[in-house]
Amino acid sequence: MGFSLEKAQKAVLKTQNKGVADALDVIMEPEEGEQPEKEAEPKEQKTKMIKAKWECAVCTLINTNGKTSCDACCMAAPEEAYEVMEEKLAEPKKQDS
């Protein structure tokens, strides 16, 4: 947290040097014409997981090992081999009949 020396001096004068807590309250108040700072909205974090079954883009082997590289040629799994975790959780569960 940072603030200018000028703001600190104004806060001390306005609170008559009663204490740090009072001065901080004054410092945190937006001044005339100043927009209050918005708190940053949390960004959605998406986790990618390797699919249970994916085809290698190089050698076409169907990999079922849960690894991020091909068992046959050791190439990295293509982008299509991943799924976003949130999408997987949003899928409705199948009910047993």
4-34 tens-digit pLDDT: 888 888 888 888 888 888 888 888 887 777 6
The total of other beta-carbon atoms located within 10 Å of residue 71's CB is 13
Average pLDDT over residues 37-53: 75
The residue extents of the domains of the chain are 1-29, 48-90
Structure pTM? 0.43
Task: Tell whether the model's pLDDT for residue 87 goes beyond 50.
Answer: no
Annotate 31-59 with b (16+ C-beta within 10 A) or e (fewer): eeeeeeeeeeeeeeeeeeebbeebbbeee
**Residue carrying structure tokens 């909205």:** 41
